[in-house]
Amino acid sequence: MADQSPQTKTDQDGAGYWSANIRLIVISLIIWALVSFGFGILLRPMLAGVAVGGTDLGFWFAQQGSIIVFLLLIFFYAWRMNKIDKDFGVEE
Amino acid sequence: MDQFTLNLLFVGASFALYIGIAVWARAGSTSEFYAAGRGVHPVTNGMATAADWMSAASFISMAGLIAFTGYDNSSFLMGWTGGYVLLALLLAPYLRKFGKFTVSEFIGDRFYSKTARMVAVICLLVASITYVIGQMQGVGIAFGRFLEIDAFWGLLLGSCVVFAYAVFGGMKGVTYTQVAQYCVLIMAYTIPAVFISLQLTGTPIPAFGLFSETVDAEGVKSGVYLLTKLDQIVTDLGFASYTEAHKDNLNMVLFTLSLMIGTAGLPHVIMRFFTVPRVSDARWSAGWTLVFIALLYLTAPAVGAMARLNITDLMWPNGTNGEAVSVETIESDARYDWMATWQKTGLLDWEDKNGDGKIQYYNDKSDAMAERAAANGWEGNELTKFNRDILVLANPEIANLPGWVIGLVAAGGLAAALSTAAGLLLAISSAISHDLLKGQLTPNMSEKSELLAARISMAAAIVVAVILGLNPPGFAAQTVALAFGLAAASIFPALMMGIFSKRVNNVGAVSGMLAGLIFTLVYIFLHKGWFFIPDTNSFVDSADGALLGIQSTAIGAVGAAINFAVAYAVSMSTKDTPQDIQDLVESVRVPAGAGGAVDH
């Protein structure tokens, strides 16, 4: 759902800021889906060889690992975005 | 001091605390009533949102569902936490920048349409009220069990308490009360789990204990992992293995996705992010919320697995290949007292079908067990009833923990159910007074009468929830699934498109929301019965029997996809959005210039 409205300089700055944001969101959501739907469910058979405390890695991702990754993702995004805010001069 | 007095003491003391805080923080203006004057720190806000979010479903019900199904119910764990990633990345900062009080205000303004706002209000009301019914059911059961009164009186007493602090406190009262509730519920959840983890694995952290070796009474490692042992004993009794997958991938993925999107679309959670001072705080706040939620969610799978192990050990004290526990032991041994207590609630029962004086607990539907049963003269599973929702509440008793722990769990379970009910009631009352009355019907309403209307609608919502809670439209889990499916299919897509696309217009958003909402509602009714009336369903609610091969709990994700598709298609074939709306979207996307909230 990309939108282009390149008219003024501020708009272009805004577009640069927004596309930086979108890029970060896409990367984060790929990781989000990979650990939960991927490692936790669909790719679990592939990870069956990796033993973790009496079961396999896929089980760990489904019950604990994905939650930990979700947490790291949100803090990573908040930290990166606050930096991007400053780089583009749009912070509060 | 007996257990009844202890329970009363813990529950009473925690209530006195919540009410005290609500009175101390009484709200004055409308701004404070809804959004606590925007002075709430991200950590405080995160803690309160966590209490708001973790309901009777998370606290009382979830570990029990995992305990008896194992891996397949990991969907709850991933779904109810993964939604916060969507919330933090796709909604929270932009809605805070927008700076209005309610979710439907954003939808109404962004889609420049009173109809859009109305449709959003309807979606919010339906989702919130169905959700609050489930909470009221939880309140009734917990009160009934621990105060040893009828569930009906438990429900009435609970609703009075919710009413008292939600109505008189508003959001500010609720925010600080919910911080207190979070502390009570997280202690109540983790303390017994730590005890049990120490008993079984010698590890004080339950999340690590789940993947550790078991230890004997002297603390010597057995060399067998807890999960290996659990898999062994449950399959010995003919049950499905704990760690393997038994559900098809499609349903598991869609169910997880529905819970995630539903989390990010539930109004009482989204509203929380209006109450932080700045846009960057909204981002941090979602992270802090998940930190506090994760403390419970990382413990829950351990609680489930360990409780399953303990129950099986109690039923088969000589090992799964030895003799089962005798009826005499259950009736006389203090370690089995919990069974008699829960039997009174009708949620747990056993019956010595073959009259051998022992209670054999096994899966009588397993072909592999039929041979063993025939050889031993067993005539079916004799632990005839074990309601999954009692597991967390009964857990400290099952593990033979001290009485104060049991009292603490009672207070924690009530805190979870009450705090969510209060948050939902606030979302309902603001939808009615702010969006419906002030936004539509009587725009010239004074601030004072708006506050009054908010309180009256809150009271009305409680009455409706109590009435429906007395005769619920099915199990609490079904009701909650409907709430999630609806939020996922209607609210989340509209909010996301409102921020991420300038092209989606008023007609598109309204048709999208209606398509998603109606599709999901009808699909659920087709499988659960119309308005949940038994036997009016057209399809069996299982992966094999369902219309599209998708269970009704997982359909919200499909509804959301339909919402996106319809909204986009309709928007592309109708007029472009006006310039001022495109400017609005542009301004929502950048944090600069976020002020306090503005009222209409």
8 A C-beta contact, residue B38 and residue B275: yes
pLDDT lower than 50: segments of chain B: 36-37, 171, 598-600
| Chains A & B: contacts with CB separation below 8 Å | 147
Residues 295-324 of B with CB under 8 A from A: 297-298, 301
**In chain A, what residues touch B229 (CB-CB under 8 Å)?**
54
Chain A contact present for B247, CB below 8 A: no
- What's the rounded Cα separation, in Å, for the pair B538 and B534? 11
Chain A contact present for B259, CB below 8 A: no
Calculate how close chain B gets to A79, using CA atoms only, in Å. 8
Supply the pLDDT for residue B477: 62
Residue A22 in tokens: 């979108």
Complex ipTM value: 0.88
Q: 0.95 exceeded by the pTM?
A: no
Chain-chain contact of A62 with B297 (C-beta, under 8 angstroms): no
Supply the pLDDT for residue B473: 54
Q: Of A40, A74, A82, which is closest to B78 when you measure between CB atoms?
A: A40
Chain A contact present for B486, CB below 8 A: no
8 A C-beta contact, residue B359 and residue B330: yes
- What's the rounded Cα separation, in Å, for the pair B211 and B195? 16
Calculate how close chain B gets to A66, using CA atoms only, in Å. 7
**In chain B, what residues touch A9 (CB-CB under 8 Å)?**
none
Beta bridge mates, B358 = B326
SS3 A51: strand
- How far from the centroid of its chain's Cα atoms is residue A86's Cα? 20
Residue of B33, B29, B53, B50 lying closest to B424 (CA atoms): B53
Residues 6+ apart with CB under 8 A from B433: B450, B451, B453, B454, B457
Architecture of the domain delimited by B3-205+242-305+401-473: Up-down Bundle (1.20)
Among A12-16, A44-48, B489-493, which is the least confidently predicted range?
A12-16
**In chain A, what residues touch B500 (CB-CB under 8 Å)?**
1
**In chain A, what residues touch B586 (CB-CB under 8 Å)?**
5, 11, 14
- What's the rounded Cα separation, in Å, for the pair A72 and A63? 16
Beta bridge mates, B325 = B359
- What's the rounded Cα separation, in Å, for the pair B403 and B383? 25
8 A C-beta contact, residue B25 and residue B173: yes
Helix (H), strand (E), coil (C) string for B458-520: HHHHHHHHHHHHHCCCCCHHHHHHHHHHHHHHHHHHHHHHHHHCCCCCHHHHHHHHHHHHHHH
Cβ atoms within 10 Å, residue B157: 16
Chain-chain contact of B283 with A42 (C-beta, under 8 angstroms): no
Domain boundaries defined on chain B: 3-205+242-305+401-473, 348-385
Supply the pLDDT for residue B399: 87
Eight-class DSSP state of A55: E
Supply the pLDDT for residue B292: 94
Chain-chain contact of B225 with A54 (C-beta, under 8 angstroms): yes
Domain boundaries defined on chain A: 19-87
Backbone angles phi, psi at B401, to 5 degrees: -85, 160
Chain-chain contact of B502 with A44 (C-beta, under 8 angstroms): no
Q: Of A5, A66, A90, which is closest to B590 when you measure between CB atoms?
A: A90
Query: In chain B, which residue's Cα lies nearest the Cα of A75?
Result: B287
pLDDT in tens, B424-474: 887 788 788 877 887 777 778 787 888 888 888 888 888 887 877 666 655
8 A C-beta contact, residue B488 and residue B96: no
Q: Of B77, B85, B245, which is closest to A32 when you measure between CB atoms?
A: B85
Query: In chain A, which residue's Cα lies nearest the Cα of B502?
Result: A3
Alpha-carbon dihedral sign for residues B374, B375, B378, B383: negative
Backbone angles phi, psi at B34, to 5 degrees: -85, -45
Burial class of residue B352, CB neighbours in 10 A (0-12, 13-18, 19+): middle
- What's the rounded Cα separation, in Å, for the pair B124 and B429? 11
Alpha-carbon dihedral sign for residues B534, B539, B544, B546: negative
**In chain A, what residues touch B222 (CB-CB under 8 Å)?**
none
Cβ atoms within 10 Å, residue B166: 29
- Length of chain B in residues, anyone? 600
SS3 B28: coil
Residue B17 in tokens: 């605390």
Supply the pLDDT for residue B170: 52
Cβ atoms within 10 Å, residue B382: 23
Supply the pLDDT for residue A1: 41
- Chain A residues whose C-beta sits inside 8 Å of any chain B C-beta: 1, 3, 5, 11, 14, 17-18, 21, 25, 28-29, 32, 36-37, 40-42, 44, 52-56, 59-60, 62-64, 66-68, 70-71, 73-75, 77-78, 81-82, 85, 89-92
Chain A contact present for B24, CB below 8 A: no
Calculate how close chain B gets to A58, using CA atoms only, in Å. 10
Calculate how close chain A gets to B536, using CA atoms only, in Å. 34
- What's the rounded Cα separation, in Å, for the pair B485 and B157? 30
Helix (H), strand (E), coil (C) string for B46-67: HHHHHHHHCCHHHHHHHHHHHH
Supply the pLDDT for residue B204: 93
Helix (H), strand (E), coil (C) string for B326-386: EHHHHHHCHHHHHHHHHHCCCCEECCCCCCCCEECCCCCCCHHHHHHHHHHCCCCCCCCEE
Residues 83-102 of B with CB under 8 A from A: 84-85, 88-90, 93
Residue indicated by tokens 């889990």: B477
Query: In chain A, which residue's Cα lies nearest the Cα of B582?
Result: A5
Chain A contact present for B591, CB below 8 A: yes
Calculate how close chain A gets to B248, using CA atoms only, in Å. 10
